[in-house]
Amino acid sequence: MEHRIDKIKKQLHSQSYKLTPQREATVRVLLENEEDHLSAEDVYLLVKEKAPEIGLATVYRTLELLSELKVVDKINFGDGVSRYDLRKEGAEHFHHHLVCIECGAVEEIEEDLLGDVEKLVETQWGFQVKDHRLTFHGVCRVCQEVTVKA
Amino acid sequence: MEHRIDKIKKQLHSQSYKLTPQREATVRVLLENEEDHLSAEDVYLLVKEKAPEIGLATVYRTLELLSELKVVDKINFGDGVSRYDLRKEGAEHFHHHLVCIECGAVEEIEEDLLGDVEKLVETQWGFQVKDHRLTFHGVCRVCQEVTVKA
DNA sequence: TTAACTGCAAACCGTTTGCAGCCCA
DNA sequence: TGGGCTGCAAACGGTTTGCAGTTAA
């Protein structure tokens, strides 16, 4: 954890940005909730618990900055809210998501499922792939069981 | 074209909705610009050329309705605007997109690239896939050539 | 007849921005 | 002492909603 904060601090410094207390608090919230997909508002409320004086605009500015540095990915599940997802260490690709249409749960898939598909797109369509976004919408394991029982 | 409008008309009637002149004008704009990925505002401006008295709210309501009927898919490329994409006839799956990060062009892929991947997700993660969203971000053929020349 | 539908304008809400003050190099 | 940074509040822009009037089955 401290290691990862140090790393981010260096990334910031390398572009002459500072790791201010507000920014550090924001990063810590992201680290502590790595499994969730927090919106800016979510992050704001969690940061506010530790640093009540922080402003929403600062959270937005920090998330934007972290997004530029590729520390987080800004994602969008189509509900009109941006969510921010910490990149796993060493992850070169954006990970995938399973969104449950029953309960809204979001599961992550780290495996690279698209290697073959990307090769196909490059050769067949002549499109040079830089990144991808893959989301499956469906029914998660838990909700399938509930449906069976009901 | 008329055939497709008839079909949509029937779909509406089956749920006791009407195909009003405003709705028909909206559908026609979508049909005439099937290759584009129009925002609600885009649709509004195009409809207004034919039916100047139409209101923006009606366009939104129509697009929402068509989206519920699965006549169009509401998509989002992360630029804060929803776009509406007519489903191809008989398409059971959402199609994929190639978004160029240089020029912003959006190309469509109709082929179902994810058959194997979906099977994997169902067996390995126990997730019942209903639909998917796949977008590749990268450099399109045209922009690759421009870069080489420059 | 009456429920669906419409246009308008206001409201909404997530996000961005202008600004004056602050803090640290 | 000056540029990065902050909190605040106002502005912004896409979308939704309340409402009174209209239309179509």
DSSP states along A64-126:
HHHHHTTSEEEEE-SSS-EEEEEPPTT--S--EEEEETTT--EEEE-S---HHHHHHHHHHH-
* Residue whose structure tokens are 């055939």: B3
Distance CA A101, CA A97 (A): 12
Share of chain A above pLDDT 70, in %: 94
The pLDDT assigned to A149 comes to 62
- Band (B35; pLDDT cuts 50, 70, 90): confident
A105 forms beta bridges with none
Q: Could you tell me if B84 and B42 are in contact, meaning their C-beta atoms sit under 8 angstroms apart?
A: no
Q: What digits encode the pLDDT tens for the residues A48-96? A: 998 999 999 999 999 999 999 889 999 988 888 999 999 877 666 778 9
pLDDT category of residue B56 using cuts at 50, 70 and 90: very high
When pLDDT is averaged across residues A23-40 and rounded to a whole number, the result is 94
Which nucleotide, over all strands, has the C1' atom closest to the CA of A61? Answer: C16
Output DSSP code: residue B87. P
Asked if B139 reaches chain A (Cβ–Cβ under 8 Å), the answer is yes
Hey, is A17 helix, strand or coil?
A: coil
State residue A35's pLDDT score.
Answer: 86
d(CA A7, CA A9): 5
Choosing among A83, A96, A121, A131, which should be mutated to test the B contact, i.e. which has the most B CBs within 10 A? A121
pLDDT in tens, A90-108: 666 778 999 988 888 889 8
List, for residues B74-121, the tens digit of each pLDDT value. Answer: 998 888 899 999 987 766 677 899 988 888 888 989 888 898 899 999
Chain centroid offset of residue A113 CA: 18
A16 touching B, CB under 8 A? no
Q: What is the pLDDT of residue B111?
A: 85
What average pLDDT does chain B have? Answer: 89
Q: Flag whether pLDDT at A148 surpasses 90.
A: no
Report residue A26 CA to chain centroid gap: 13
Query: What are the residues facing B138 on neighbouring strands?
Result: A129, B100
